[in-house]
Amino acid sequence: MAESLVLRTTVNGTAVARAVAARTLLADFLRDDLGLTGTKVSCDAQVCGACTVLVDGLPVSACSILAADADGRGVTTIEGLADDDELSPVQRAFTECSAMQCGYCTPGFILATEALLADVPDPADAEIRHALDGNLCRCTGYRPIMEAVRLAARLRQEARQAEAPGDATPPGQRPEHNEVTR
């Protein structure tokens, strides 16, 4: 192992093996090596969330993680959510609520929402704000995004009940530590 390595990862369900320089950041690997330009780069400092992707289901800042750290793991980008042109419930909710203007932050928000709802299927507003506090939007003022997340939770619930009617919603993992002064 030296200044480059062979990266073996799965991106949106497809196995990928590429030689990359060790210094390659995941965002650049996705955008430049794989041509998946849906993941956006903005602040380069892991605070804006535009580059959010899921690695083994966990939200990460692709701008601040080595591509090498995806080795042996599964990466999900915005391109991997729609199933044969059928949008995910989160994507549908963002569409229905027009929860975007310029759209640059949108892939990041959608993936962060996917991560949130996987953890907490029915989040309260305070939980939504806490989870998405690390995703910036400069256009909307956030109101339609909140609406979209609430709708997405409902749509996912409906989809679950359609698949398995009568199953109770699995309890979410609620954060318990809210001693937030500010």
Partner 1 sequence: MAWYPPMIPAFDLRRPQTMAEALRLVADGATPYCGGTELIPAMKIGIMRPDVLVDLKVLPGLRGITVRDGRVRIGGCTTHREVSGSPVITRHARALASATSQLGNLRVRATGSLGGNLCFAEPRSDVAAALATLGASVELTSAGGQREEAIEDFLAGPFTTTCGDDEVLTAVLLPAAAGRSHYVRFQPAEYPTATVGVLPGPPARVAVGAVGGQAQVFRFGRLADVSPGDIAGQVEVLPDRQGGEDYKRHLVMVLTERALEAAREDGDG
Partner 2 sequence: MTAGGSGEIGGHSVGRVDALAKVTGRAGYAVDHRLPGCLHARVVRSQRAHARLTGISRDAALAVPGCVAVITAEDLLAAAAGRRGTGPLFLRFGHVVPDHWILAHDKVRYYGEPVAVVVAETPYAAYDAAELVDIDYQDLPPLMTPADALAADAPALHPDRYSGESIMPGTASGEEKGTWQPNVAYQADLAWGDAEAALASAPVVVETSGHFPMLFAYPMEPYNAVASFRDGILEVTSSAQHPFQVERDLARVFGLPLSQVRVQVPYIGGGYGAKSYTKIEPLTALAAWYTRRPVKLVLDVEESIYTTRADSADVTVRSGFERDGTLIARQIDVVLDTGAYLDNSAQVLEKSVNRCFGPYRIPHLQVTARAVYTSTSPASSYRGFGAAHCSFASETNMDLAAGQLGIDPIELRRRNLVARGQQLLPGRRAMDTDLADDLAVLREAITGYRPSGGRVLRATGVSCTVADAGALPSSTAQVRILSDGSVVLHTGATEMGQGSHTVLSQIVAEELGVPLAAVRVAPQDTLTSPFERTTGASRTTTVVGSAVQRACRDALEKISRMAAEIDGPGPRDGRPAAAPDIRGRADFAKVIRAWFGPGGGEVAGVGVVRRAGNFAQLPPFWEVGMVGVQVAIDPDTGQLDVEHLVTIGDVGKALNPAGVEGQDLGAATQGLGGALWEELIYDGQQIANANIIEYRVPRISDMPGRIDTILIERGDGPGPYGSKGVGEGARGPMGGAVASAVAAATGVWPDRLPLTPERIWRLCQAGKATTATGEPGDGERPRGVAEEAGK
6: left (phi over 0), alpha (psi -120 to 50) or beta: beta
Q: What is the Cα–Cα distance from 181 to 124, expressed in whole angstroms? A: 19
- What amino acid occupies position 177? H
| Cβ at position 113, least distance to partner 2 in Å | 11
| Cβ at position 134, least distance to partner 2 in Å | 8
With beta carbons less than 8 A apart as the criterion, state whether 106 and 79 touch.
Answer: no
- Report the residue from 16, 47, 118, 146 that binds partner 1 according to the rule CB under 8 A: 47
Q: Which span sits near partner 2 by CB under 8 A: 67-75, 76-84, 116-124, 161-169?
A: 76-84
Question: Sheet of 4-11: strands edge to edge?
Answer: 14-21, 4-11, 74-76, 52-55, 58-61
Number of residues forming the site for partner 1 (CB under 8 A): 43
- Report the residue from 9, 28, 94, 99 that binds partner 1 according to the rule CB under 8 A: 28
Residue 73 CB coordination number (10 Å): 15
- Report the residue from 64, 122, 146, 172 that binds partner 1 according to the rule CB under 8 A: 64
Indicate the pairing of strand 58-61 with strand 14-21: unpaired
Over its C-alpha atoms, the chain yields an Rg (Å, rounded) of 17
Binding partner selected for residue 98 from partner 2, partner 1, none, CB under the kind-specific 5 to 8 Å limit: partner 2
Q: Residue 129 — φ and ψ, nearest 5°?
A: -65, -40
| Cβ at position 117, least distance to partner 2 in Å | 15
Confirm or reject binding of residue 115 to partner 1 (CB under 8 A).
yes
Query: Which residues are 7's β-sheet partners?
Result: 18
Structure tokens, 58: 């966990």
Residues of this chain that bind partner 1 (CB under 8 A): 1-3, 5, 21-23, 25, 28, 41, 43-47, 49, 52, 58-61, 63-66, 68-69, 112, 115-116, 131-135, 173, 175-177, 179-182
Residues of this chain that bind partner 2 (CB under 8 A): 21, 23, 28, 31-32, 36-45, 47-48, 50, 77-79, 81-82, 87, 91, 94-96, 98, 100-107, 110, 128-130, 132-133, 135-146, 181-182
